């Protein structure tokens, strides 16, 4: 088996490249990353049981078809992220992320290789209490340039599926959990980092009791493994999440490790008064059962941050 992973050194990619040989011993893993975040550590101590090849390159520029040739799947994870911060670099994000997805998807179509495309549940910005993949256009109200671009990419992939592309598209909840290339700019991971060094946990003023979808990184891996095992490239769109949680629930979980964290309520351009649950029944119908746990995810994250407690004021 041959698998290509773009954005291979990121939070999700650095975990995926380590999971693949456990699922498929002897797998050839082609890792593509532009090293813009300098996550060299993601390449340290790769497991045995796979043939790894690393390509330092930008998927918006390099020739992709030769790298994709003969692959059983391409996992497209390369993207600029950070929805809240995307207002500051909206044009750059649009140019980079959409171009990357366009080039990767078209190269997959040309090479006749299945694509796993990663979108985000941030495309939802609805006042409805529950949403799923069949919600109306009026219920898709992305609240940031990042989310707007993801929605545009989804439509591109769907268009290419109509032209013969084998693909599956996932709307992932906000990722939490430990990996070599993990980041700390989104809720859960950011809150853990702030609490571990004695900083106030910064919570959007309206968000404390709003429900949002979260995804344990290990559940993300289970979703990927199911796709490879089932060859589930059916062209459909699937929500994937571990649980719909409030910020209060997350902070209460962190309190079991840092008993009295300070909380600062702050403003953000994408905060709103909306609280909604994302439904994942479509993917569960394919045999997927999430097994992740916010308590374990926070505990694992706090454990690797234990040394940082010495830096507390």
Based on the fold, state whether residues 232 and 250 are members of the same structural domain. no
Cα 211 to Cα 33: distance, rounded to the nearest angstrom: 33
* Residue 253 confidence class, pLDDT cut points 50, 70, 90: very high
What is the number of H-type helices and E-type strands within the chain? 10, 14
Task: Tell me whether residue 182 is in a domain.
Answer: no
pLDDT in tens, 156-202: 999 999 999 999 999 999 999 999 999 898 889 999 999 999 999 99
- Compute how many other C-beta atoms are within 10 angstroms of the C-beta atom of residue 79: 22
Q: Return the structure tokens found at 198.
A: 């004695």
Q: Parallel, antiparallel, or unpaired for β 243-246 and 211-216?
A: antiparallel
Q: Which domain holds residue 303?
A: 189-209+244-311
Based on the fold, state whether residues 136 and 235 are members of the same structural domain. yes
Based on the fold, state whether residues 11 and 156 are members of the same structural domain. yes
Instruction: State the CATH number of the domain containing residue 193.
Output: 3.90.25.10
Query: What is the mean pLDDT of the segment spanning 133-142?
Result: 82
Task: Tell me whether residue 183 is in a domain.
Answer: no
Task: Tell me whether residue 136 is in a domain.
Answer: yes
pLDDT in tens, 259-283: 999 999 987 665 454 678 999 999 9
Q: Return the structure tokens found at 298.
A: 């926070």
| CA count, 13 A, side-chain hemisphere, 294 | 25
pLDDT in tens, 220-249: 999 999 999 999 999 999 999 999 999 999
For residue 73, what are the CA distances in angstroms to 116, 124, 193, 258, 264? Answer: 7, 28, 34, 42, 44
Query: What is the mean pLDDT of the segment spanning 278-306?
Result: 96
Task: Tell me whether residue 12 is in a domain.
Answer: yes
Based on the fold, state whether residues 171 and 276 are members of the same structural domain. no
pLDDT at 139: 76
Instruction: State the CATH number of the domain containing residue 93.
Output: 3.40.50.720
What is the rounded average pLDDT for all residues in the chain?
90
pLDDT in tens, 95-123: 789 999 999 999 999 999 999 999 999 89
Say if pTM beats, i.e. exceeds, 0.85.
yes
CA quadruple 124, 160, 111, 282: dihedral sign: positive
Catalytic residues: 146
pLDDT at 94: 78
pLDDT at 140: 83
* Residue 142 confidence class, pLDDT cut points 50, 70, 90: confident
Based on the fold, state whether residues 147 and 277 are members of the same structural domain. no
Based on the fold, state whether residues 204 and 146 are members of the same structural domain. no
pLDDT at 20: 98
Task: Tell me whether residue 154 is in a domain.
Answer: yes
Q: Which burial class, exposed, middle or buried, applies to 88 when counting CB atoms under 10 A from its CB (0-12, 13-18, 19+)?
A: exposed
DSSP structure class, residue 48: S
pLDDT at 207: 81
For residue 167, what are the CA distances in angstroms to 62, 76, 106? Answer: 22, 11, 11
pLDDT in tens, 25-55: 999 999 999 998 888 999 999 999 999 999 9
Strand order in the sheet with 27-33: 50-56, 27-33, 2-6, 73-76, 115-120, 167-172, 237-240
Number of domains in the chain: 2
Task: Tell me whether residue 75 is in a domain.
Answer: yes
């Amino acid at each position: 088996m041959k698998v290509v992973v773009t954005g291979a050194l990121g939070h999700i990619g650095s975990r995926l490249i380590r999971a693949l040989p456990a699922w498929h011993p002897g797998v050839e893993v082609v890792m593509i990353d532009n090293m813009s975040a300098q996550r060299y550590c993601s390449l340290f101590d790769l497991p045995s049981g796979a043939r790894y090849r690393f390509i330092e390159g930008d998927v918006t520029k390099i020739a992709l078809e030769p790298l994709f040739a003969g692959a059983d799947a391409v996992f497209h994870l390369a993207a600029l992220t950070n929805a809240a911060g995307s207002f500051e670099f909206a044009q750059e994000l649009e140019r980079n992320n959409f171009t990357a997805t366009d080039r990767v998807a078209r190269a997959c179509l040309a090479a006749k290789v299945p694509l796993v495309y990663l979108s985000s549940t941030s495309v939802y910005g609805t006042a409805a209490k529950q949403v799923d993949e069949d919600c109306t256009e009026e219920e898709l109200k992305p609240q940031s340039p990042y989310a707007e671009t993801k929605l545009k990419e989804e439509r591109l992939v769907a268009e290419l599926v109509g032209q013969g592309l084998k693909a599956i598209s996932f709307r992932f909840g906000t990722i939490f959990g430990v990996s070599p290339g993990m980041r700390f700019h989104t809720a859960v991971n950011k809150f853990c980092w702030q609490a571990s060094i004695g900083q106030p946990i910064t919570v959007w003023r309206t968000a404390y009791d709003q429900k949002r979808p979260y995804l344990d990184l290990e559940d993300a891996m289970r979703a990927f493994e199911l796709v490879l095992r089932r060859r589930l490239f059916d062209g459909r769109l699937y929500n994937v999440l571990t649980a719909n949680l409030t910020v209060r629930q997350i902070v209460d979980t962190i309190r079991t490790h840092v008993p009295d964290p300070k909380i600062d309520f702050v403003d953000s351009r994408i905060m709103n008064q909306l609280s909604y649950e994302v439904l994942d029944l479509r993917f569960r119908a394919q045999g997927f059962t999430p097994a992740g746990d916010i308590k374990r995810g926070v505990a694992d994250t706090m454990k690797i941050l234990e040394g940082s407690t010495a830096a507390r004021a």
